[in-house]
Each structure stands twice: as C-alpha cells, then as structure tokens.
Structure 1
Amino acid sequence: MLMTERKPRQQSFTSWIDQQIADAENRGVFDNLPGAGKPLNIKPTGDGDFGQAWIRDYARREGVTPEEFLPTPLKLRREIEQLTEIVGEMRSEAEVRETFGDLNRRIIEWRRIPVGPPIHVRLVNTDEMVARWRAAQAAKATRAPAPGAQPAPEAQPAPRAQAAPQKGARPVRRHTWLRRLRHRPPRSAQLGTNRQGRR
C-alpha cells in the first residue's frame, strides 16, 4: 500500500499512518539512511524546546537559510530590501522593470489570499527603482576613464650607475672588433697575395 492511496473509511488516521510506516519498513525504505544509528544533534536552548532544536539542526544539515522559515509577508519585505540594495548592479532598465514587476505581482497574489500574520506589504514603485538604477549608472560613468584617454605612463626605472674601475684592473676596450674590420685589407688583396705566395 502506498502513501498516496486514500485512507479506508473504516480505518482511523492513526492506524492507517502506522500501517504505512510498517509497510515502508518492511520494504527497506528506511535502510541505509544518512546518519543511521547516530544520535540526533539536538541541544535545546534555555527554553528546553526540543522541537525548535530539531528544526535548527535540520536547517543546518540541509543548508536551509533562516529566511526560509519566515512567513510569506516577511519574506516579501526582505526581498524588497535585498533587491533595492542591488538595483544599481542590474544589467539594464528592462531587467529592473521586469524584476520589480514580478515582485509586485507576487505581492498582489498574497494580498488576495493572505497567509500568515496580518502584516502589510507595500507595492514597490518601479519608476523609483529605475531612477535609482539610472543614478547608479551615471555614477559609474563618471568614475570610468574617458574613451580614447591615454593611460598614465609608467615610471621608468632609474639607470644603473656604472661601477668605478678598480685599481690595477685592466681597462675594458670596447668595439675593438670594429677597429680591426676597418683597418683590415679588402678580401681581393688577400686573395692576390695568397696566389702569389703559392706560385
């Protein structure tokens, strides 16, 4: 019997749920679950509420943020705050209007059938968000360098000072091979001399 099946009319909810659990155990549904055989990490705070401690431990293990436990109106308020903070980072004006338009649509849907505490959630002024986005883009443009501007030249390292020659050291003669090439006789004269010597 699967859990999706309807409860028989002649059977109570308690016995029907117990039967579903027993059938699942027999099929091995609960075998090899993560953390099997280990104690639950439940440490209640000063209130001694083990239920709240279990929820906190479950959220920590599953990576659930505390915002997920907020009622719908508080989630919507929190989302308004977060999107207002990052509106300047959106890529275009169309994205701003689409994002806050979708948020206002969800706020209206919640107002029709409010679930949770009676907390008022105001609609977001989309034109005001667009004005904030434009102001942020203008501020970025003033900080960015003008197109075609040459970057500042990098500082060139100072030339290295030549070390003074030591006493008694033989001076280094530079470009001596250039002097030898200049005073060297042409190759044709050298070839004529060699031929005469061979004769």
Structure 2
Amino acid sequence: MEEARRRRWYADGYCDRSDHDASAPHSVRGGRPASDQTGHETLVERQIRLAHERGDFDDLPGKGKPLPGLDGPDDEDWWVKGYLRREGLSSEPLLPTPLQLRREIERLPDTLSGLPDEQAVRGVVRELNRRIAEWVRAPVGPAVPVGPVDVDAVVARWHADRAAVADRRAAERRAADAAARADRPRRRWWRW
C-alpha cells in the first residue's frame, strides 16, 4: 500500500526519490519530511516553487498593489465594511439607534415627497415620533439628543414643497408648449 502511494506521488510530481532518506523523520503523507529542519522543502513549499517556476503567479490581478483594507488604521469591523462596499449595501443599519433616527429626520422631506395626501404624511411622521419616544424611554447607545418632530410643521412644509413642484411642472409645460408652437410652421391667411 505504501509503495503504491509513493509511486503515485512520484508520478504526480509531488516528490522525487531523493526526498526519501531512511534516517530523516517522515510525515504521514508520501514520506515527506515533517519539518524543514533536515534541509528538505515541505510539500506545500515544493508546490509553490513549481507553480512559480511554471509562471502561474505572473499575471495575477492586483499584482504589486497593497492589500485592500490594510492601508487604514486598525479596525475590527474591516471585513463588514469591505463586504458592504463590495455588495453596494448601505452601512446605515450599523449605526446606533439615535443616529439612525437623526438621519431619518434629515431625509424626511424626501421621504414624504412621494406621498399622495396629508393623512399619509401625518401617519409617517407619527410612526417616526413613536420610534423616537420609544428610544427616549430606554436609550441604548451614545447619548445623542433626538427630539420628536412637529407634525404640523412637517405637513406645512409638505404642502409648500408640493405647491412648488406643481408650479415648476406647470412652468415646464408652458415652456414646452411655447417651444412646440414656435416650431410649427405658420399658416398663411391665404390658401391656394
């Protein structure tokens, strides 16, 4: 059995007959030395050397460039940030709760711009205020001040933004109609 294994290893190029010295300590696989103390290279070192001689490592992507993530300060979450960056995901869920709430408050006008009526706007703001009150009752994370949002002020701003968008669209329609009228050929008052 051992002889058949050695012949297979010789044929595959993992070792040669000169590697087998009866006085050297052998590992379990193929009579390889257990350590490099005897002057023999290990199986892994030999495979790397042979691959390098064949040129398998010549045109690897990223050759000569620093490893990503190792150029900045030590960060225990480097792998999470790298994964989020590779997948194109947002890192916002990793933020503490008060910072997430503050970001939601900042993005509130954009969130509300697509809502159809005032009742839906009030519902979204009430839900946000509920989550803020829930956090204030049992704060977890850094002590960042977050206060409730004034529903009436948000609704008034929503109405103003909606009116501004409607005015802008009307002005764009008027400009498009005027351009279309200018491009049409004028009709003469006489006909032939």
For residues 103-129 of structure 1, the C-alpha deviation after alignment (integer angstroms, 9 at most, x for no partner) is 000111111111101111110001001
Instruction: Determine the structure 2 residue equivalent to 1:155.
Output: 183
Higher RCO (CA < 8 A, seq sep 6+): 1
- Confirm whether residue 106 of structure 1 aligns to residue 114 of structure 2: no
In our comparison, the structure showing a higher alpha carbon Rg is 1
Report the secondary structure of 1:65's partner residue: coil
For residues 30-69 of structure 1, the C-alpha deviation after alignment (integer angstroms, 9 at most, x for no partner) is xxxxxxxxxxx763233234x2321212323454312121
Structure 1 pair 155/131, CA: closer, same or farther in 2 (3 Å)?
A: same
Report the secondary structure of 1:90's partner residue: coil
Structure 2 residue ranges without an equivalent (≥5): 1-66, 188-192
Amino acid at match of 2:101: L
- How far apart, CA to CA, are the structure 2 residues paired with 1:96 and 1:82? 13
For residues 13-45 of structure 1, the C-alpha deviation after alignment (integer angstroms, 9 at most, x for no partner) is xxxxxxxxxxxxxxxxxxxxxxxxxxxx76323
Structure 1 pair 157/54, CA: closer, same or farther in 2 (3 Å)?
A: same
Amino acid at match of 1:46: G
Aligned counterpart for 2:69 among listed residues 43, 62, 66: 43
- How far apart, CA to CA, are the structure 1 residues paired with 2:118 and 2:110? 15
What fraction of aligned residue pairs are identical, expressed as a percent? 44
Considering only aligned residues, what root-mean-square deviation do their CA atoms show, in Å? 2.8
TM-score under structure 2 normalisation?
0.51
Structure 1 residue ranges without an equivalent (≥5): 1-40, 160-199
- How far apart, CA to CA, are the structure 1 residues paired with 2:169 and 2:100? 36
Give runs of aligned pairs for residues 70-149 of structure 1, distance below 5 A: 70-145=95-170
Instruction: Determine the structure 1 residue equivalent to 2:78.
Output: 53
The structural deviation recorded for 1:86 is 4.3
Instruction: Determine the structure 2 residue equivalent to 1:30.
Output: none
TM-score under structure 1 normalisation?
0.49
Contact 1:45 1:53 in 2 (8 A): no
Structure 1 pair 135/113, CA: closer, same or farther in 2 (3 Å)?
A: same
Instruction: Determine the structure 2 residue equivalent to 1:14.
Output: none
Residues paired across the two proteins, number: 115
Contact 1:107 1:121 in 2 (8 A): yes
